[in-house]
Amino acid sequence: MGRSYRRLVIIYRSFMDSDHFLKPFFEPRSVAIVGANPRTGDFAFNAIENLENFGYKGHIYPVNRKYAEILGRQCYTTVKDIPFHVELAVVVSPRNTVPGVIRRCGEKGIKSVVVPGQGFADADDEGKKLQQDIINLAKYYGIRILGPNTLGVLNPFANFTTSFLLLIDIHTLPIGMISQSGVFFTTVGRYSCFGKAIDVGNACDIDVADALEYFIQDEDVSVILLHIEGIIDGNRFRTAVTKATKAKPIICLKTGRSQEAAKAASSHTGSLIGSDYVWDALCKQTGIIRANSIDELSDLGKAFHYLPRPKGNRVAILSGSGGVGIIGIDVCIEHGLYPTKFAQSTKEHLKTIAPHWYEPKNPLDLWPFMMSSPKTATKAIESILNTVLNDENVDAVLFFGGTWWDDLIPSFVEIIVETTNQFPNKPIAISFSGGAILDVLAEHISERLEKAGKGFVFSNPNDAAKALAKLVDYSEFLSQS
């Protein structure tokens, strides 16, 4: 790549970046916390404490007329008293003071404001009126508003968050999360499942389509998770999403599926809802991958990040017990995967390492191969995986561990990393069937695989098969569009 072309790309990128109005929300160089308080710890909900713990390197300006200093920082009476440029204001003062703060932000020249508090369009008539006041003032001053009723943004790449809740287990994963509820910041799915996140809350201004546009051009994001209760501007959303699904997989949890829930969702964030049938059609047309629960959203995000996309739906089922092998067929059929037939050469090679009475076939019962010693078990698993992945009739593997031993963990992780490198187009979806002790073991293996960037462990055979099936679907969508 020539030097001038590279420079052009850099200029273009920095133009794109600086152009998007959401950038100051995700990586502000300075932030004012209006209504800041000096309390710390649980139940203090201190955004400044949170930012410090998170290692934020930008400028933090507390604003509260009651205090001269908060956490060792000079505290200002109003935002207008801050003698520096402020890129973002987070307004955590009581709801009836918010319009006044927005006005002063406008006068100060602050163009980006987050309003975390509840009690606006999500609440009574007074709240609805206050939200309208905010919208009017924002328009007048050219301010973009995130919220109200939001935890705002989370950006581990810049150690920045507007959340007043403590955040834990946050990683710089290239998975972006867009939600209409703060619950996804603190409690989404199993283990950490995203990097950057934005909660649009009541979406009085910034909405899901804006966030989508931002994540499409964001190089830190390669998979996008969506939690949607309802969309006000359906056309804008469709345009944004149609562009996005071709570039990056979008996985969507649409809640408020029933009429009853839709009504409640409308009062939760004040947004309108399309019928579930319309949503389903929209997903099919635009290639959105639909998730049906918080856990599935988290699983699919990680599946699309960690696992390669298979070329087809022919699956080898390797199972620690015959009983779970049968379950493996059930879950394959349920999700449109095909329990493959092994090639003759595969069967013949497996026969050489099996007990004499065992006829190798799919699903393959691992137990007869591995019961003699940890060393035998490790060797058997390695040999079986290699044999099966070499089979032309195999597009992907479902690996269901059963009885297991701590000693096997490191070598098993090594084997998976190794075979994943060797067969970069054949995903291995792993689960360990149930039981508290296997949960702990599965977590250890999952952590190690995630650290190696080579996979993770699903909670059960069904979730593993479902995710594989969605990977197959997306490959098909891309090849057809």
Q: Looking at 54, 76, 160, 184, which residue binds a second copy (CB under 8 A)? A: 184
Q: Looking at 437, 451, 453, 481, which residue binds a second copy (CB under 8 A)? A: 437
Q: Least separation, in Å, of the C-beta of 359 and a second copy?
A: 6
Q: Least separation, in Å, of the C-beta of 113 and a second copy?
A: 21
Q: Least separation, in Å, of the C-beta of 17 and a second copy?
A: 30
Number of amino acids touching a second copy (CB under 8 A): 87
159 near a second copy (CB under 8 A): no
What CA–CA distance (Å, rounded) separates 342 from 399? 16
Q: Looking at 2, 15, 18, 43, which residue binds a second copy (CB under 8 A)? A: 43
Alpha-carbon Rg for the chain in angstroms:
26
Q: Least separation, in Å, of the C-beta of 477 and a second copy?
A: 25
Q: Name which of 258 and 422 has its Cβ closer to a second copy.
A: 258
- In our burial notation (b when 16+ CB lie closer than 10 A, e otherwise), range 275-313 reads eeeebeebbeebbbbbbeebbbbbbbbbbbbbbbbbeeb
257 near a second copy (CB under 8 A): yes
Q: Looking at 384, 438, 457, 471, which residue binds a second copy (CB under 8 A)? A: 438
Task: Quickly count: other Cβ atoms within 10 Å of residue 317's Cβ.
Answer: 26
What values do phi and psi take at 112, rounded to 5?
-135, 125
**Residue found under tokens 């204001």:** 89
End-to-end Cα separation, the chain, in angstroms: 29
Q: Looking at 29, 103, 190, 444, which residue binds a second copy (CB under 8 A)? A: 190
Stretch that binds a second copy, among 19-27, 76-84, 183-191, 420-428 (CB under 8 A): 183-191
- Tokens (6 digits) for 418: 């190794």
Q: Least separation, in Å, of the C-beta of 259 and a second copy?
A: 8
Q: Least separation, in Å, of the C-beta of 302 and a second copy?
A: 13
User: Are the C-beta atoms of 92 and 116 separated by less than 8 Å?
Assistant: yes
242 near a second copy (CB under 8 A): no
Q: Which stretches of 1-159 are assigned E, i.e. beta strand?
A: 30-34, 59-63, 69-70, 73-74, 88-91, 112-114, 144-146, 152-155
Q: Looking at 24, 339, 360, 427, which residue binds a second copy (CB under 8 A)? A: 339
Residues 273-332 that bind a second copy (CB under 8 A): 293-295, 298, 320-327, 329-330
**Residue found under tokens 């804008």:** 236
- Tokens (6 digits) for 15: 């133009």
Stretch that binds a second copy, among 186-194, 204-212, 214-222, 385-393 (CB under 8 A): 186-194
Q: Least separation, in Å, of the C-beta of 374 and a second copy?
A: 6
Residues 47-106 that bind a second copy (CB under 8 A): 95
Stretch that binds a second copy, among 65-73, 267-275, 306-314, 464-472 (CB under 8 A): 267-275
Q: Looking at 53, 386, 462, 475, which residue binds a second copy (CB under 8 A)? A: 462
DSSP bridge pairs for 62: 33
What CA–CA distance (Å, rounded) separates 166 from 150? 14
373 near a second copy (CB under 8 A): yes
User: Nearest-5° angle of CA 164, CA 167, CA 173?
Assistant: 130
Q: Least separation, in Å, of the C-beta of 211 and a second copy?
A: 16
Taking each helix axis from N to C end, the angle separating 294-306 and 436-451, rounded to the nearest 10 degrees, works out to 40
Query: Nearest to residue 234, comparing CAs of 200, 202, 271?
Result: 271
Helix, strand or coil, per DSSP, at residue 339: strand
Q: Looking at 192, 271, 286, 387, which residue binds a second copy (CB under 8 A)? A: 192
Q: Looking at 99, 106, 189, 195, which residue binds a second copy (CB under 8 A)? A: 189
Q: Least separation, in Å, of the C-beta of 261 and a second copy?
A: 4
Residues 194-223 that bind a second copy (CB under 8 A): none
Task: Quickly count: other Cβ atoms within 10 Å of residue 471's Cβ.
Answer: 24
Q: Least separation, in Å, of the C-beta of 474 and a second copy?
A: 23
Residues 128-147 that bind a second copy (CB under 8 A): none
Residues 163-182 that bind a second copy (CB under 8 A): 165, 168-169, 179-182
Q: Least separation, in Å, of the C-beta of 127 and a second copy?
A: 6
What secondary structure, in 3-state letters, does 204-230 show? CCCCHHHHHHHHHHCCCCCEEEEEECC
What values do phi and psi take at 59, rounded to 5?
-85, 135
User: Are the C-beta atoms of 50 and 161 separated by less than 8 Å?
Assistant: yes
Residues 393-412 that bind a second copy (CB under 8 A): 402-403, 405, 407
Q: Name which of 73 and 341 has its Cβ closer to a second copy.
A: 341
Q: Name which of 201 and 427 has its Cβ closer to a second copy.
A: 201
Q: Looking at 16, 68, 247, 371, which residue binds a second copy (CB under 8 A)? A: 371
User: Are the C-beta atoms of 398 and 472 separated by less than 8 Å?
Assistant: no
Query: Cα dihedral sign for 188, 190, 191, 195?
Result: negative
Q: Least separation, in Å, of the C-beta of 8 and a second copy?
A: 43
User: Are the C-beta atoms of 330 and 379 separated by less than 8 Å?
Assistant: no
User: Are the C-beta atoms of 325 and 365 separated by less than 8 Å?
Assistant: yes
Stretch that binds a second copy, among 30-38, 61-69, 74-82, 190-198 (CB under 8 A): 190-198
